[in-house]
Amino acid sequence: MARERLYLFDTTLRDGAQTNGVDFTLNDKLTIAGLLDDLGIDYVEGGYPGANPTDTELFGKPRLLDTTFTAFGMTRRPGRSASNDPGLAALLDAKADAICFVAKSWDYHVRVALETTLEENLASIRDSVRAAKQKGREVLLDCEHFFDGYKANPEFALACAKAAYAEGARWVVLCDTNGGTLPHEVAAIVTEVCKVIPGDHVGIHAHNDTEQAVANSLAAVRAGARQIQGTLNGLGERCGNANLVSIIPTLKLKPEFAKKFEVGVSDAKLKELLHVSRALDEMLNRAPNRHAPYVGESAFATKAGIHASAIMKEPKTYEHVPPETVGNRRKLMVSDQAGRSNVLAELDRIGLKVDRNDPRIATLLDVVKEREAIGYAYEAADASFDLLARRTLGKVPSYFDVVQFDVNVEQRYNAVGERVTVSMAVVKVKVGDETLISAGEGSGPVHALDVALRKDLGKYQRYINGLELTDYRVRILDAGTEAVTRVLIESQDETGEHWTTVGVSPNIIDASFQALMDSIVYKLIKAGATA
């Protein structure tokens, strides 16, 4: 049986840009559009030309994308003609393949927010769709507050949708703007809409205010809708939009959808999903959500020993889909609860060839347990475990020695009379016969130490030039008689690989220093540096 086409519409650059603290530059937008295009997303909504300089510029230049690049904007204002509305004119002039209009479909909003009549709202929809069609654009209409509007006045909500469809809009998109609608309501209402508008012209735009945006999108598809709108990583104001990074693999890997529908994302591109998700986090300078479905660090991580031994025999026992399909990997965490199977699997993954009966494996397991008892967390710090395993098996070159370091914190007035706190660090490192002394300044002592440590490592410098710290987490633990500090540092290099290291000490600088050192040494090993 031929599969039906299901279309994906990304609004990371428009609705996602409404997120607190998110401010895309023109370059960011072009980069994300390129990633989405490459992934195989059918529609990429770039922004709101005329509303801000970035979006106006974005739509002012031609792009080389296969996706249907879409401009967003309002239908003509009430009481004006389509030809006498500067906002609409800017939208029609934008270099876009498609135009997505937003219009009210809740009678209450038409009267209270727009202060106009229901008939004028319908006329505005008809006129705007017609004007865009005349310009040769594909047209979409976002029906704002559709589900709330439908509950209040189904005739009017449907009339808005029908008005756009009758004028030739390719898609009528039902928006759960407040995000409060539940899946069974979405299913019931979309079913009704699909009785008057063919489902292959109906889209769903769900917000995540009850954490059901993904469920609502899937419910809409089951009820007949054939376009899903969402964002990467569920970015969006308040609780976010429907998360395409969760929706895409569900559509492709779950038989209910995979048997019935075809999407623009190929199996090969699906393997890049994790990369695309992380690229957005990086751009926003956010730590990736470890517990994100499919692409999170923990999505395929197993801790308990008994589960791990079952997974080694048959991954399906604890995995709902194969992690490689989305570019993720199985992770058997090494911790004090871990059995031999976890440790063996981890050694295998990092490429350390050890005989299964090697007594050093028991030693390694004991060391992990001892160190976890005093606060180390190897399940979270894969790179530190890697080093610990190599050290226990006697395989870490002695690259360099930090002979001495000194960190200070100073509070003083700066040149313009503001009270500032600055830190400076001096590090003395021995590389071979060479002694190197570097100083670094930073906003805090750990930052300064990091800057100084990575400033000059002599012959190893070229290996660590692309090294970057992407996350720093501190926790105070109550370990027996005294409180200790655990520091987890996440690093990244020029290849985009991430790793985490750990340090533990009663002193936060010392704990940070251990984690920094592990990160550098791990990078040197990974790069194949020799002592």
Binding site for Zn ion (CB under 5 A): 15
Please report how close the Cβ of residue 503 comes to Zn ion at its closest, in angstroms.
43
Please report how close the Cβ of residue 11 comes to Zn ion at its closest, in angstroms.
7
Please report how close the Cβ of residue 147 comes to Zn ion at its closest, in angstroms.
12
Please report how close the Cβ of residue 294 comes to Zn ion at its closest, in angstroms.
23
In the complex with Zn ion, which residue's Cβ is closer, 36 or 82? Answer: 36
In the complex with Zn ion, which residue's Cβ is closer, 122 or 204? Answer: 204
In the complex with Zn ion, which residue's Cβ is closer, 197 or 235? Answer: 235
In the complex with Zn ion, which residue's Cβ is closer, 178 or 191? Answer: 178
Whole-number Å distance between alpha carbons of 214 and 205: 10
In the complex with Zn ion, which residue's Cβ is closer, 180 or 397? Answer: 180
Please report how close the Cβ of residue 225 comes to Zn ion at its closest, in angstroms.
16
Please report how close the Cβ of residue 280 comes to Zn ion at its closest, in angstroms.
18
Whole-number Å distance between alpha carbons of 170 and 68: 12
Say how many Å lie between the first and final Cα of the chain, rounded.
61
Whole-number Å distance between alpha carbons of 110 and 163: 15
Residue in this structure with the two tokens 């002193």, named with its chain if needed: 507
In the complex with Zn ion, which residue's Cβ is closer, 144 or 386? Answer: 144
H-helix segments, 429-497: 445-453, 461-464
In the complex with Zn ion, which residue's Cβ is closer, 15 or 107? Answer: 15
Other Cβ atoms within 10 Å of 161 Cβ, number: 26
How many Cα neighbours within 13 Å face the side chain of 412?
7
Please report how close the Cβ of residue 15 comes to Zn ion at its closest, in angstroms.
4
228: helix, strand or coil = strand
The gap from C-alpha 302 to its chain's centroid, in whole angstroms, comes to 22
In the complex with Zn ion, which residue's Cβ is closer, 185 or 282? Answer: 185
Q: What is the DSSP letter of 201?
A: G
Number of helices followed by number of strands (H, E) in the chain: 20, 18
- AA identity, residue 446: V
Q: Considering only the C-alpha atoms of the chain, give the largest distance between any 2 of them, rounded to a whole number of Å.
A: 85
* The two structure tokens encoding residue 405: 């370091």
In the complex with Zn ion, which residue's Cβ is closer, 15 or 372? Answer: 15
Please report how close the Cβ of residue 179 comes to Zn ion at its closest, in angstroms.
8
The 3-class secondary structure across 43-104, one letter per residue, is EEEEECECCEHHHHHHCCCCCCCCCEEEEEEECCCCCCCHHHCHHHHHHHHCCCCEEEEEEE
Do 248 and 276 touch, CB atoms closer than 8 A? no
In the complex with Zn ion, which residue's Cβ is closer, 224 or 240? Answer: 240
Whole-number Å distance between alpha carbons of 118 and 112: 11
In the complex with Zn ion, which residue's Cβ is closer, 215 or 422? Answer: 215
Please report how close the Cβ of residue 175 comes to Zn ion at its closest, in angstroms.
6
235: helix, strand or coil = coil
Whole-number Å distance between alpha carbons of 215 and 381: 33
* The two structure tokens encoding residue 367: 């060391």
Residue least distant from Zn ion (Cβ): 15
In the complex with Zn ion, which residue's Cβ is closer, 15 or 450? Answer: 15
Whole-number Å distance between alpha carbons of 282 and 58: 21
Do 60 and 47 touch, CB atoms closer than 8 A? no
- AA identity, residue 90: A
Do 415 and 481 touch, CB atoms closer than 8 A? no
Please report how close the Cβ of residue 229 comes to Zn ion at its closest, in angstroms.
8
Please report how close the Cβ of residue 237 comes to Zn ion at its closest, in angstroms.
8
Whole-number Å distance between alpha carbons of 302 and 318: 8
Whole-number Å distance between alpha carbons of 288 and 448: 25
Please report how close the Cβ of residue 206 comes to Zn ion at its closest, in angstroms.
8
Other Cβ atoms within 10 Å of 392 Cβ, number: 19
In the complex with Zn ion, which residue's Cβ is closer, 15 or 42? Answer: 15
Please report how close the Cβ of residue 216 comes to Zn ion at its closest, in angstroms.
12
